[in-house]
Amino acid sequence: MKQITFDEALKQTAPHSVSLISSLTPEGNTNLAAVCWWTFLESEPPMIGFSMANESYTCELLKKSGKTVLSIPGESIADEAFKCGTASGRDVNKAEEYGVTLVDAPVKYPVNSKVAFICSVVNPVPVGDCTFFICKIDDILYNERERHLYAWGDSNKLAALP
Ligand SMILES: Cc1cc2nc3c(=O)[nH]c(=O)nc-3n(C[C@H](O)[C@H](O)[C@H](O)COP(=O)(O)O)c2cc1C
């Protein structure tokens, strides 16, 4: 075996499951950010976690509100999900701008999701330039009509598995 960099290891362990993290803005809008660094943590009680760059709007919002939805976007919104990982909610209302229809819920998430984990943040843990949000899962919803999206390469390609 040979030594490789962290970035290379990310490429070599792809594809990575793509999620969208919903957060509430002070104006009452829903911000969506693409996140691949998410993981299941515990089944009883059900817990999930994800790592967000401290500079992201999502990180700022979640430290205040404590409520989020981690949704698995379906293939039908692959382009929109990717765009949610390339712009900040500080500059654009992504759901509105990209035409992502949201479920009417206390914290909204895309209608075209395969799975949605309704979560409460229980512990935001500082990890270098990121914060790892440890969340309790309050509810899980499933839509059998959608196919799961994965990211390849430098997270610049999103597609469902063949
Ligand atoms: C496929 C994909 C996966 C991403 N995964 C993460 C991630 O796990 N953690 C993270 O902090 N940013 C990740 N990003 C980048 C954020 O989505 C991006 O910085 C976004 O603009 C943050 O939006 P916000 O400022 O509205 O929170 C990812 C981007 C893409 C395209």
In the chain, which stretches have pLDDT less than 50?
A: none
The type of residue at 113 is: S
Q: Tell me the residue ranges of DSSP E strands in 1-154.
A: 16-17, 19-24, 30-35, 38-43, 46-53, 67-73, 113-127, 130-142, 149-152
Q: What is the pLDDT of residue 162?
A: 72
What residues does ligand 1 touch, defined as CB less than 6 Å away? 18, 31, 33-37, 51-53, 56-58, 82, 85-90, 151, 155
Q: Which atom of ligand 1 is closest in space to residue 51's alpha carbon?
A: 9
Domains of the chain: 17-156 (2.30.110.10)
Q: Contacts by 34-38 with C-beta closer than 8 Å and gap 24+?
A: 34/81, 34/82, 34/84, 34/85, 34/86, 34/151, 34/155, 35/70, 35/85, 36/151, 36/155, 37/130, 38/70
Q: What is the pLDDT of residue 147?
A: 94
Q: Which of 100, 6, 102, 91 is nearest to 55 (CA)?
A: 91
User: What is the best residue among 11, 36, 91 to mutate for testing ligand 1's pocket, by most ligand atoms within 8 Å of CB?
Assistant: 36
Q: What is the pTM of this model?
A: 0.97
Q: What is the pLDDT of residue 153?
A: 75
Q: What is the pLDDT of residue 159?
A: 87
Q: What is the pLDDT of residue 156?
A: 76
Q: How far is the CA of 1 from the centre of ligand 1 (A)?
A: 31
